[in-house]
Chain A
Amino acid sequence: MRIISKLQGGIAGLLASVALAGAGAASAEGVTLEYWVYSDFAAGDALALQQQFIAEFVAKHPGVKINITGKGDDDLTAGEIAGAASNTLPDVFMNGLNVGAQLASVGALSNIYDKWMAMPESFRAQFNADAIKSCTPKPDKMYCLPYTGFGSLLFRNLTVLQKAGVDTSKVPATWTEWFEQMKKVKAAGLYAMPDTTMVFNSVAEIYGTTGDASNWGIDWATHKTRIDPTVMTKVLQKFIDMVPLNSGTSRNDQATKDLFIANQLAFHVVGPWVDPTYKQAAEKNGLKYDFQLVPGDTPDKHGGIKSYEIVGVSPGPHRDLAWEFATYITAKEQMGRWATLLARYNGNAAAMADPKVASQLLITKSVEAVKYAVDVQPPYFVGTVPSCYLATVVDIAAATADGKYTAAAGAKEMISQLNTCLAE
């Protein structure tokens, strides 16, 4: 081991001298902030608006330069972890709440609690309180500002429903009504739903129709799942019931969207990001669809999940300026324009209440959906959800649907396996 550290030291020294010779020129001028966003925010109209935000910010901070870079979901995570390791983190960056714990553990996200508290109350009050809570695992630790978000919606293909003899003006108010409609669709020879046991998020969406935040997620103090066996039994029974009705494709598959557009699939429970695709299909090939809240077991309850994309600030030398930029893009004025352009819900509640924004149906529905939905993987920023946890939920749900377990036995097995996984 001594040899290795010696070797490491030697090579590091050698490299440092090479690196010194190479550097020098770049950092002389004004500050440049690196700003990483999701790839769809760095293309087309979205990019134009982001660049406008940047231009406005730069106008107020002469000499500052901001480079915007778009990356796919996993690429953001890999890039941010690697950046933390090599001290080349972007100054301001996005990611999802569900990888927040990992990013915080490697020190990619700096604790912005003091800076947040130093902001005027008028700014802090703009945000959705639940979203801020998700960013604040402990009273004095805050790691992010909420950005865009979603609550699952039920997209309905009206042509398919009419073909199946369903009265489309009557939105299903409960699971029972919804399931009746699914059976009618099946009887008409069409697919009612995607296979909801294929990805974690769609299992969670159906769980939300029965369960709620009090019996979902992980208790990190005891390393036990909070899933309730009776709730899970009921949910697994729904998966068993839906087996003959589903298309065999997952919630996220390209193929599922394709079936929906082709008038083969009646319902698609998913986030609002599919809407641009469906809207385009409506204009081009006359797709008739709408979106509603996901029905729950009782009329006053709704299913589905919610989550937020987050904006984080890295602990680099430009932390203050980076924070300022982060507050600029998440403030009401910008979030309002952002929501209007994309028709996407976001974590700035004040912006969502703005009449111009609230006139967009997709956003008002999302605001409603978020109120009822369960968080995907709560609590955030506490522990890293192990992959076996997510895999177990999906696997047992699928195995139960395949008939390997009864609903009750499946729920029991799932919970015991989840606890074993968390204990590892």
Chain B
Amino acid sequence: MTAKRASATSPTIWTVLKWTVAILAAVIAVFPVWWMINVVFSEPGQPVSINPRLWPTSLTAGLQTVHVIFAETAYLHAYMVSVCYSVLTIAGVLLFGSAAAFEFALFDFPGRRIIFGIVMLALMVPTAVTIIPTYLLTADLGWLNSMQGLVVPGLASAFGLFMLVQFMRAIPADMIEAARLDGASHLQIYWHVVLPLCRNAMVTLAILTFMQTWGNYMWPLLVGTSPDMYTVGQIVGMFNSPLSHQTVEVVMTANLLAAVPPLIFYLLFQRKIVEGIAMSGTKG
């Protein structure tokens, strides 16, 4: 009897709770970003400390600040550098990483375990250890202030390999065997069978790689010393330096502008993630 009553009322309690928690969490996740947008698009000259900026007050003031920043810094050029840096890195990480992961996850060959073990060990060495030796190497190659200097040293991502191997291990061996019996070559199996299956993981890795390269500060700082190689991070760094005499709106605008391409990238790719999830869902 009690069980019956519980089943009658609990769905509504559950629903109310579900909605409350979901909305609360959404507010916490989004509000800081909303707040920053409000700081940018607000009446100029009003200090943040007496006006906590719960909504935007002036679109034109924000656009004016954006205009000033674009005029005074090479922000647009930095966008281009950052986009090239990210896109090339993503392409390389996905291509080289998936090819290697394909072998490590699905086949056995002499030395497989030991080579994979070494790569995994390297995953645990903090980049701060290798940054100076890698920098010296890049300088010796004559790659300072060049796109290849920015991109190439980061292409062999141990993390990407680890992640793709984890996902590819779930692919049933029968599937590979069946494809082989159908007469598919090694490369064809990789390209037509395995890659489509781990599209989901590839998209996730692409997003992660994008975030890492877009937010990467130290490496571009060392390699791209001349202004025509400045990334967005470096431009923002100039505004964020503690003794910068910029006001809050300007600093926040410079920061917000850095987030615009990731936000666009995210909106574009969110659908891809959903598709990927849906695909693997029907499979299960």
Contacts and interface: CB of A to CB of B under 8 A. Distances in A.
Direct contact between A and B in the complex (CB less than 8 angstroms)? Answer: yes
Interface of A: 11-12, 15-16, 18-19, 22-23, 34, 39-40, 43-44, 67, 69-75, 78-79, 82-83, 85-88, 90, 252, 254-255, 257-259, 261-262, 264, 271, 273-274, 276-277, 280-281, 284-285
Interface residues of B, number: 37
Contacts of A261: 45, 47
Contact of A86 (B47, B139, B246, B251): B139
A273 B142 contact: no
A83 to B, nearest CB: 7
B248 interface: yes
A82 B44 contact: no
Contacts, number: 106
A264 B140 contact: no
B222 A39 contact: no
Contacts of B48: 255, 258
Contact of A79 (B46, B142, B222, B247): B222
Identify the 6 closest CB pairs spanning chains A and B, nearest first: A86-B139, A262-B47, A72-B241, A39-B238, A19-B142, A285-B45
Interface stretch (B2-10, B81-89, B130-138): B130-138
A85 B225 CA distance: 14
Contact of A15 (B73, B140, B144, B241): B140
28 contacts: A11-B137, A15-B141, A19-B140, A40-B245, A43-B73, A67-B226, A70-B227, A71-B238, A72-B244, A75-B237, A75-B241, A78-B222, A79-B225, A82-B132, A85-B135, A85-B136, A86-B135, A86-B139, A86-B144, A87-B139, A252-B242, A252-B243, A258-B48, A258-B248, A264-B47, A276-B245, A277-B245, A277-B246
Interface in B126-161: 132, 135-137, 139-142, 144
Given A18-B141, A70-B227, A88-B139, A281 B245 contact: no
A73 B222 CA distance: 14
A280 B247 CA distance: 10
A39 B234 CA distance: 11
A258 B242 contact: no
B72 interface: yes
Given A75-B234, A259-B49, A88 B144 contact: yes
A273 B45 contact: no
Secondary structure type dominating chain A contacts: helix
A264 B46 CA distance: 13
B140 A12 contact: yes
Nearest to B248: A254
Contacts of A75: 221, 234, 237-238, 241
Interface in B40-58: 44-50
A78 B242 CA distance: 16
B118 to A, nearest CB: 15
Contacts of B135: 82, 85-86
Contacts of A86: 135-136, 139-140, 144
B241 A39 contact: yes
A388 B142 CA distance: 37
Interface string B216-260: 001001100111000000100110111111111001000000000
B242 to A, nearest CB: 5
**Residue in B49, B144, B242, B244 whose Cβ sees the most chain A Cβ within 10 Å:** B49
Contact of B137 (A15, A69, A252, A262): A15
Contacts of B234: 75
